[in-house]
Amino acid sequence: MRATGQVAMRHHYGLWYDRRRDDHQMNKRPDADTWPPFFEQPFLRSGKGEAWDRLSRYDLTRYNPWYFDRLKTFAALGRAKGLVLINEMYFQHNIIESGAHWVDCPWRPVNNINNTGFTEPPPFNGDTVKMADEFYDLKHPVRGPLHRAYIRQCLANLADEPNVIHTLSEEYTGPLHFMQFWLDVAGEWMRETGKHPLLALSATKDVQDAILADPERAKLISVIDFKYWWRTESGDDYAPKGGESLAPRQHLRKSKAGRPTAASIASMVREYRTKFPAKAVIAELDQADGWAFVFAGGSFAKLPPKTDPAFLAAIARCQPSTSSDASLDLPSDAVVLAGERGERIIYLPKGGDLRLAKKSPASATLTPVAVDLTTGAVHALPAANSFSMPAGKASVIWLKLP
């Protein structure tokens, strides 16, 4: 991760335990002759009965110590190396799309001893299945308490690792009420323990906006994660609704919306950082340009692996500036990150001229530094009141504190 400049890794449990199911067949296995490598599940086997994979059934009230210890060990190693674990508690892929995703799932009644009450046999439609409505039904007397206990286990396991960010689920296009439940359980656990884990809001736009408009639940959120909606080049939002029992790619197949661009992603980040300045914003959208993203206020931007450490620290100190700065004369498309004592980092998407329009005692002590956007290296510029950067080429100037 460090060699490639990757600062965070997302993790969720696997679709099934053994690799025979990679064939996506839905039949019960004829024997227990499993194929490694194994995708360890969060739950322990009970030693009782026979699941669809011919191993013993799971007990959803008992947790797999090997699985949780590996996560905790990875988080501890990451903390020592300045890396982040994004812990996705659930994996929605199990309950939507291919029927093979569900047949070995620990939550399916034939695979556990807990009487989870899902429709059995599953309501297959050809080789597909939709179990999301049942999975997210919190009124069920067995499943609701199991969800609550599992969420608390995930929080407790990583409670002492400050470099962990928790999300509800990978591929979460589920309903608002389950996101509310997740936050309520997390809030309850936080009040009981005095711990304050980092929670990321990763969902469709309608669910994200509803949570952020809810004062009590919004205050539990530290990070906003853009994965399941985006702004297109035309300025319209591709924003499928949550809770429609469709996976992200199923939503996308139904849509004629355009794709995001670096500029449109940056505009999303800037909008939400302006509205919610105390919350970090991250994105899992491939079109994001690292420099445009970070200057919009985004975190975990894809910058060159060897970007100058002092410059990275300056980025972390500064915030997107939303007000005009009389001390700077800039092109209209320039973006400024502002810090204390006059520190500024200026992004010129198309180059152009920058002039320090007015010297102040604070700005007089700043050193102008140019940043190489290809390598992340920095070099001092001659002391001057104006700078001309190559036209048509993105540039960054850092007004550096002494």
In which element (H, E) is residue 253 found?
Answer: helix 248-254
In which element (H, E) is residue 202 found?
Answer: strand 198-202
Calpha distance 250→237 (Å, rounded) = 17
- The answer, yes or no, to whether residue 55 has pLDDT greater than 90, is yes
Calpha distance 114→58 (Å, rounded) = 8
334 versus 206: the higher-pLDDT residue is 206
pLDDT of residue 357: 64
Q: Cis peptide leading into 30, omega within 30 of 0?
A: no
Candidates 238, 176, 246; CA nearest to 212 is 176
Average pLDDT, rounded, for the chain: 94
Calpha distance 352→329 (Å, rounded) = 11
Calpha distance 220→226 (Å, rounded) = 17
Calpha distance 265→302 (Å, rounded) = 13
Go through the chain and tell me how many residues it has: 402
Q: Which residues pair with 199 in a beta bridge?
A: 166
Give pLDDT tens digits for 361-373.
555 678 899 999 9
pLDDT of residue 364: 61
Give pLDDT tens digits for 264-306.
999 999 999 999 999 999 999 988 889 999 999 999 999 998 9
Token code pair at residue 139: 């009124």
Query: Among the listed ranges 4-8, 96-100, 150-154, 220-224, which one has the minimum average pLDDT value?
Result: 4-8
In three-state secondary structure terms, 14 is coil
What domains, with CATH codes, occur in the chain?
8-304 (3.20.20), 311-400 (2.60.40)
Return the residue matching tokens 């067949």: 25
Which strands form 386-389's sheet, in the order they lie side by side?
328-329, 352-356, 386-389
Q: Cis peptide leading into 349, omega within 30 of 0?
A: no
Calpha distance 51→400 (Å, rounded) = 62
Calpha distance 371→369 (Å, rounded) = 7
Q: Show Cβ contacts of residue 381 under 8 Å, excluding neighbours closer than 6 positions.
A: 368, 369, 370, 387, 397
Q: Show Cβ contacts of residue 333 under 8 Å, excluding neighbours closer than 6 positions.
A: 348, 349, 350
352 versus 176: the higher-pLDDT residue is 176
What average pLDDT does range 254-273 have in this prediction?
Answer: 93
Calpha distance 254→264 (Å, rounded) = 21
Positive/negative CA dihedral, 217, 199, 230, 245: negative
Token code pair at residue 371: 């940043």
pLDDT of residue 330: 84
Token code pair at residue 273: 């950082």
pLDDT of residue 113: 99
Q: What percent of the chain has pLDDT over 90?
A: 82
The amino acid present at 338, given as its one-letter code, is A
Beta-strand relationship, 367-371 and 395-400: antiparallel
pLDDT of residue 385: 79
76 versus 356: the higher-pLDDT residue is 76
- The answer, yes or no, to whether residue 341 has pLDDT greater than 60, is yes
364 dihedral zone (left: phi>0; alpha: psi -120 to 50; beta): alpha
Strand positions, DSSP E, 72-163: 84-91, 96-98, 128-130
Calpha distance 95→296 (Å, rounded) = 35
Calpha distance 343→207 (Å, rounded) = 37
Q: At what angle do helices 143-157 and 176-193 cross, to 10 degrees?
A: 50
pLDDT of residue 281: 97
- The answer, yes or no, to whether residue 359 has pLDDT greater than 60, is no
